[in-house]
Chain A
Amino acid sequence: MNMILTSTVNGLVLSAIYILVALGFGLQLSIMGIFNFAHGAVYMIGAYVTYGLSVALGLNQWVSLLISVILVGASGLLLEKFCFRPFQSKPTHMIVMAIALIMILETAVEVTLGGVTRALPAFVPGIFKAGSISVDNERVLAFAIGAVLLAALTFLIQKTKIGQQMLAVAQDAEGAALQGIDTHRIAATATVIACATAALSGSLMATIFSMNPFMGDNILLKAIQVVILSGIGSIGGVLVGGLIMGFLNAFLPVLINASVGEVITILIVLGILLIRPKGLFGYELF
C-alpha cells in the first residue's frame, strides 16, 4: 500500500518535471523544427546557477531561483540567434551544434565545480502530512509549481496573441511569415520560454534528487520520449504523454526491475515511432 502511494507521488512529481522539460523541447521542435539536444544541458545549468547563487554566494534560495530562471531564460535569446537560427534547415549540423553546446556547458561546470554529485537544499524543508499520507514538502512544491506553470503556459499559448502566433508558426512557418508574423521573434520567445522552464525544472529536481554536471542527459531522453509519445503540437498530448512516462518511470523499477522497465519503456517508444510516427495526439511535422 505504502509502496503504491510513494510510487504514485513519485510518478506525479516525475510527470510534472517531464512535462515541463518536454514542453520546452517540443516548443522548439514545432516552432523552429530543430531537435535541441542541448536542452538537457540548459536544465543542468539552471540547477547550477541556483546552487551557485544560494549556496556559494549565500543569497536567499527563492531569489536565487528567480535570478536563475531569468538569467537562463535570457540566454535563450543568444542561443536562438547564434546557435539555432543558422542551422534551422540543417538537422545534422544542428545535432553537432547541440553537442558542442553540451560539451562546453558540462565541461564548464565540471572544471569550475568538479564532477561530484551535490544536493541543492530544500526550498521548504519538512514533510507534508495529510491524513495517513506523508510526503516531503519539496515534492509537493515541485508538483504544485509544475502544475501552475503548465496552466500558465497553456493559457499563454491558447489565449494570448503571441501564443496564437506561435501555433500559427508551428503549423505553417511560411504561411505565418506571409501573414506578417515575425517568425524570428516567435522563435526567440519560444527559446526563452523553453530555457526558463528548463532552469526552473532543473532547480526543483536538484532539491529532490541530486545534481551533477551530467544530470541533463537523462532528462533530455525522457523529454524526447514524452514528445514522441504525445506527438508534436499538442499541449494536451504532452500532458498525457508526460503522465504516462512519469508513472512508467515511477512504477516499473519498483514492480519489475529497473533494466527490464527500461527495455519496456524503450519498446513502447519504438513501437509508437514505428506504428504512429505522429505520436498519439500530434500531427506530422516533416
Chain B
Amino acid sequence: MLLDIHGLTKNFGGLIAVDHLSMSVGEGQIVGLIGPNGAGKTTVFNLITGVIRPSAGKVEFDGKDVTGKSPHILAKSGIGRTFQLTPLFTDFTTLENVVASYYLHPRSGFWDSLFNTPKYRHNEAYALEQSLKILDMVGLSKVKDERAKNLPHGYQKMLGIARALAVQPRLLMLDEPLGGMNTDEITFTMDIMAKVRGLGMTILVIEHNMQILDLCDRVVAINFGQKIGEGSVKDIRNNPDVIKAYLGEQNVA
C-alpha cells in the first residue's frame, strides 16, 4: 500500500475530531474519503499532510513512518496536496504559480540560482516547459498571464491541482475539489482527475459531494471522526449508515 493509516486520533481539548481511523490507499487507485459536513474530513487531511500533529496513531507513506512530519518534508517524500480555501499564491500569475511550485524537482541550490549557472538555467527552462504542459492539460493556458486572484473560482481550484502536480507527487491529495463548482466545472474537473490517474498517479480525494463516487476505486466514509463504511462504490451507496449520515444532514438542512 502507498499510504497506510493506523488508529489515527486527534483531540482538540476534550473534543475528539478523529477517532481511531484506519485506512489505506493502494498504488494507482483513486480513493474517496467522504462524509457529511463537519465529519472530520479536513482534519484527517491535515493530519496526513502534517499541518497538525495527531494525538495518537500512525501514518505510513511508502513503507516509511511519516507521522507528524512537517508539510514540506511530506511534499519531499512525494505527497502533493490542494487546499480547500486558499489554494494559491494570489499575487502571482497563473504561470508563476506553477513555475514557483517546481521547487523540488528539479531543485536549484542558492549559489546556482545566484550565479545563474548552466545547471540553474537548464532547471528553470525545464520547469517552465513542464509548467506550460501542465497548464495545457488542465485547460488554463489561455489565462496563464492573469493574476491568480482575478481568476474565477473554478479556475482557481484547477490551478490548485496544477500546482500540486508540479510537485510531481506519487500521491495527490485533493481537498474538496468539487466544492462550490457548477455542473460543467464538476464534469471538467472529474475529466482532469481521470487524466491524472492515467499518468500513473495515486489520488486520495476528500469530498462532500457524492458525485465523486463515479471516479473512485474505493471509498471510505466517515462521520463524527469515525469510520462508518469502507469498500467499493456500490457497497458505500448501499451502506445504511452512510445513507443515514447524509439523510440526517439533509433533514437538518
Task: Determine direct contact between A and B, CB below 8 Å.
Answer: no
